[in-house]
Amino acid sequence: MKQAVLLLFCIISLKLGAQTPTGTLPEGSGTEASPYLIATWQNLLWISQNSSSWNKYFLQTADIDFADASPAINTWDGNKGWLPIGGADPFFTGVYDGNNRFIKQLYINRTTDGNHALFGKIQSTGKVSNLSLLNITITGVQYTGAITGHNNGIIENCRITGQITGTNYVGGIAGVNQSGTIKKSVSEATITNNAVQGFTGGIAGYQQNSSATISECSNQGNISNTLDYSGGIVGYMGSGKVSDSYNRGNISARYYAGGITGYMYSGSQIVKSYSTGSLSASNYRGGVVGSRVTPITMTNVFWNNDTDGIVGNSNDNFGAFGKSTAEMKINSTFLDAGWDMNIWYRDDNFNDGYPYLAWQNSGGTPLPVELISFTARADERTVTLQWKTATEVNNYGFDIERFGPFERPVDVETMHPDRIGTSASSLRVIGFVPGHGNSNSEKSYIYTDNSPADGYYYYRLKQIDTDGQFEHSGIVEVSVLTIPQELTLYQNYPNPFNAGTRISFALPHHLAGERVTLSVYDVTGSLTDRLFDRAAEPGRHDIYWNGAERASGIYIIRLQGGGEMRVLRVILLK
């Protein structure tokens, strides 16, 4: 009989789940000067169980892992797990500083009421910052998120990973961003809405009031919604603003799926943001927004129309612009649109080469000085260098580097910035031109080299940042030769050659304006190629002859002008 009673007691206990343990009062007094120090999961639980503390100050001093909880968190409160801080009136009006620590293995499984998150509802004076929630498992109904179900306060510098599931107003950071601010936060969670109504977003499921803002945030997780309104950042924008944010996750809904938001209501704003995720919906899907009610504001927003999964897509989505993958990884796409170089960085080896937020990788590269042209022109005894930049960030200026002189053209690859090779001995810094610091507009530069001797020269720019970092430009070539007294034909290089060779000639002043021809003949005297046939300026001219379609053998190069003629024998070997 005793065994039967014991067995029945165990069965009932398993069905009801373990009782929630009692939290431990943390050190501190809860003031700004002496915040409560949260060092254990028991300290954190104490906040949940003491509503009188929900207007206090808290500082997390150690990482917290609910895998250490006893009994296990998924058995608490009849297997419902964590009871949200501020889940009911008076809600959370305090300040919680995570101190760049994490909380791991948070578990919630609640199917009634709402505001299912670490913090149920954050009011206008409330703030949660500098906190990571890792490997979370949250299942709720309406107003479900990781940090909060309902936000009217400030959420900053928070990161989440794991699984979030709800039925209405479901978001990575917040279920609803009512009148609050969410900034510098990222969701990497998989978010699922087994919808009663819908509204699902990577950062917030719904954004309500004009004062609500999301800025410098990103979503990396996939979002699925069995009903309507899914977005990479916000499921449904009833109002408010999203700025300087991006989505890399894939988005699905029955109707209304967008890379940034599923729907924009009148007065909503999206500024300087982008999406690369694929979109799936039976109707109303777009690279940035699924649909909208005008007027809305869409300013310098982009999406990747190579990856959006929309067949026959347009390059215009209610004022946002579709770009190819290559264009989405070019600095000028964003800098030409006025994106802030202090907010956005881009590196080929970070975020798959797409722009990212400076706070996500402080050691990264700001959208940098972008060189759009660099040319060299020889004129008698001077060489003029000209270049233009599209944008500049912290640009101290340019060293002018010169290689040469060389008697004949050299392999430019040997002077690649990473392998200067034998030409290093000819490298000289011949001048410096100050930069414009920071600029979003095109800037032009000019430098004149006044003292080169005869020969071939190669120039490059060494762009130097204000912190001493530098980057080299490509190399430009120019030949400097004294104008000869007579028509001159120079020996080609290389010779013998395979397929192609460079042929140079020089004209004296008295042949200025005269017709000059440069022709190729085979050994039978038949003309095979006419390389040059026009009037030309005095000085040196370089012509490339591509003999790929000619047979191996000896060819005669003939230069004619002003009644004079010069000939040269060359050998083509294949």
* Residue 10: predicted pLDDT: 43
The 10s digit of each residue's pLDDT in 27-61 is: 999 999 999 999 999 999 999 999 999 999 999 99
The pLDDT confidence band at residue 181, using thresholds 50, 70 and 90, is very high
| Alpha carbon distance 328, 353 (integer Å) | 9
Residue 533's Cβ-count burial label (10 Å; 0-12, 13-18, 19+) is exposed
* Residue 423: predicted pLDDT: 45
Q: Of 162, 280, 160, 296, nearest to 217 (Cα)?
A: 160
What is the pLDDT averaged over residues 309-314?
A: 70
Query: Does residue 442 carry a pLDDT above 80?
Result: yes
Q: Of 218, 231, 214, nearest to 269 (Cα)?
A: 214
Two tokens at 239? 């109002």
Q: How many residues does the chain have?
A: 574
Place of tokens 């890399």: 248
What is the pLDDT averaged over residues 281-290?
A: 94
What is the pLDDT averaged over residues 559-571?
A: 92
* Residue 18: predicted pLDDT: 64
Fold of 488-572: Immunoglobulin-like (2.60.40)
Query: Does residue 14 carry a pLDDT above 70?
Result: no
Q: Of 300, 303, 243, 230, nearest to 269 (Cα)?
A: 243
| Alpha carbon distance 159, 332 (integer Å) | 29
The 10s digit of each residue's pLDDT in 317-351 is: 888 999 999 999 988 889 888 898 789 998 888 99
489 strand-pairing partners = 505
| Alpha carbon distance 302, 389 (integer Å) | 23
Biggest distance spanned by C-alpha atoms of the chain:
129
* Residue 428: predicted pLDDT: 87
Query: Does residue 200 carry a pLDDT above 90?
Result: yes
Q: Is 539 left (phi over 0), alpha (psi -120 to 50) or beta?
A: left
2-11, 375-384, 486-495, 528-537, range with the lowest pLDDT: 2-11
Q: List all residues 6 or more positions away from 417 whose beta carbon is below 8 Å from its beta carbon.
A: 460, 472
Two tokens at 527? 């003309």
What is the pLDDT averaged over residues 209-238?
A: 97
Q: Identify whether the C-beta of residue 341 lies closer than 8 Å to the C-beta of residue 369.
A: no
Cis ω for the linkage preceding 494 (within 30 of 0): yes
What is the pLDDT averaged over residues 376-383?
A: 82
Q: Are strands 190-201 and 564-572 parallel, antiparallel or unpaired?
A: unpaired
Place of tokens 């409560």: 36
The pLDDT confidence band at residue 252, using thresholds 50, 70 and 90, is very high
Look up the pTM and report it.
0.69
Inter-CA distances, 60 with 29, 97, 246, 276, Å:
14, 6, 29, 35
Inter-CA distances, 168 with 21, 61, 101, 115, 139, Å:
30, 34, 30, 11, 11
Residue 159's Cβ-count burial label (10 Å; 0-12, 13-18, 19+) is buried
pLDDT greater at residue 4 or residue 433: 433
Q: List all residues 6 or more positions away from 320 whose beta carbon is below 8 Å from its beta carbon.
A: 270, 286, 287, 288, 289, 298, 301, 302, 303
Two tokens at 45? 């639980």
Q: Identify whether the C-beta of residue 152 lies closer than 8 Å to the C-beta of residue 119.
A: no
* Residue 1: predicted pLDDT: 46
| Alpha carbon distance 481, 409 (integer Å) | 13
User: Where does the chain hold its CATH 2.160.20.110 domain(s)?
Assistant: 20-328
The pLDDT confidence band at residue 415, using thresholds 50, 70 and 90, is low
Query: Does residue 553 carry a pLDDT above 50?
Result: yes
| Alpha carbon distance 56, 122 (integer Å) | 13
The mean pLDDT of the chain is 90
Place of tokens 């020089």: 506
* Residue 190: predicted pLDDT: 98
Query: Does residue 537 carry a pLDDT above 90?
Result: no
The pLDDT confidence band at residue 311, using thresholds 50, 70 and 90, is low
Q: Identify whether the C-beta of residue 298 lies closer than 8 Å to the C-beta of residue 327.
A: no
Query: Does residue 419 carry a pLDDT above 60?
Result: no
Place of tokens 């032009």: 444
What b/e sequence results for 114-134 when a residue is b if at least 16 CB atoms lie within 10 Å of its CB, and e otherwise?
bbbbbbbbbbeebbbbbbbbb
197-206, 240-249, 405-414, 533-542, range with the lowest pLDDT: 405-414
Three-state SS letters, 389-415: EEEEEEEEEEEEEEEEEECCCCCHHHH
CATH assignment of 20-328?
2.160.20.110
Q: List all residues 6 or more positions away from 99 whose beta carbon is below 8 Å from its beta carbon.
A: 59, 60, 61, 130
Q: Identify whether the C-beta of residue 488 lies closer than 8 Å to the C-beta of residue 505.
A: yes
The pLDDT confidence band at residue 392, using thresholds 50, 70 and 90, is confident
User: Where does the chain hold its CATH 2.60.40.1930 domain(s)?
Assistant: 488-572
Q: Which of these CATH numbers, 3.20.20.80, 3.40.30.10, 3.30.565.10, 2.70.50.50, describes 370-480?
A: 2.70.50.50
* Residue 426: predicted pLDDT: 67
What is the pLDDT averaged over residues 280-303?
A: 94
72-76, 156-160, 474-478, range with the lowest pLDDT: 474-478
What is the pLDDT averaged over residues 52-79?
A: 97
Q: Are strands 527-535 and 515-522 parallel, antiparallel or unpaired?
A: antiparallel
Query: Does residue 482 carry a pLDDT above 80?
Result: no
pLDDT greater at residue 537 or residue 414: 537
Rg (CA), the chain: 34
| Alpha carbon distance 204, 164 (integer Å) | 12
- 271 Cα distance to chain centroid: 15
* Residue 183: predicted pLDDT: 98
* Residue 418: predicted pLDDT: 44
Three-state SS letters, 207-219: ECCCCCEEECCEE
Q: Are strands 148-151 and 356-357 parallel, antiparallel or unpaired?
A: unpaired
* Residue 452: predicted pLDDT: 80
User: Where does the chain hold its CATH 2.70.50.50 domain(s)?
Assistant: 370-480
Q: Identify whether the C-beta of residue 529 lies closer than 8 Å to the C-beta of residue 545.
A: yes
Inter-CA distances, 121 with 117, 128, 143, 151, Å:
8, 11, 9, 6
